[in-house]
Amino acid sequence: MTGLRFEAVRASIVAASVRLADLGFFAGIGGNLAVRIDTELMAVTPSASDYYSMKNEDICIVRMRDLKLVEGTKQPTTESGMHAAFLTCRPDLQVSLHTHQPLASAVTLLGIDMPVEGAESRASLGSALRIVSYAPSGTSFLVSAFKKKLRKDTNGYLLRNHGIVCGAKSIDEAIANVLLAEEQSAYFLRSRIKNNPNFSEISPLVMQQALSIL
């Protein structure tokens, strides 16, 4: 195998990572992306790397069945096991994207499934973003918890107290899905605020400020 075989997918991951960092969905060194290469291999972002200085050669080529590094100058993301599980369970998907985007990450703190509103949104994400039980980031415990929640009809998952994972058939579609998840999270949080039984006790100014950020 030569690096030239993987050059296009590596370049697409670097470009997508910069875009996600610009959106604030990849923050600092938080967030990662995996793209299926074939039935055995995937390309993933490296661990603990700044997205704005990341180079094509930094993107890691990993064997999905055992997470062995096949090619790359850095160590793959610690979430490689979670991405491999997603892509293995869902052969119809090509991309697994994990973000720390603000509103959807806030929803993960509630520890519940978040319903998805609208037929088009449900077609992209599923009927709900399913909550995955808390486990430390990058551990086999998180991979195990994630596997238990994987469904053929669901492309979006909430990682308790952590962030979200979305699957898609392309990188552009994956980014569209996390943007959609953020829109859905805003709608969901706004609805919860308005339906709070203590809503009338909150000062109008505080209510206005809370709703303005959603």
- pLDDT tens for residues 28-60? 888 999 999 999 999 999 998 899 999 999 999
Residues 78-97 have a mean pLDDT of: 98
Task: Please list, in sequence order, all residues whose beta carbon lies within 8 angstroms of the beta carbon of residue 66, skipping any fewer than 6 positions away.
Answer: none
Q: All domains of the chain, ordered by start, with CATH?
A: 3-212 (3.40.225.10)
Cα gap 34→16, rounded to integer Å: 11
Are the C-beta atoms of 12 and 21 separated by less than 8 Å? no
Under the banding of pLDDT at 50, 70 and 90, the label for residue 211 is low
Cα gap 72→61, rounded to integer Å: 6
What pLDDT sits at residue 195? 79
Span 159-171, pLDDT tens digits: 999 999 999 999 9
Q: Which residue has the higher pLDDT, 56 or 2?
A: 56
What pLDDT sits at residue 194? 80
Are the C-beta atoms of 27 and 100 separated by less than 8 Å? yes
For residue 85, which phi and psi values (nearest 5 degrees)? -65, -45
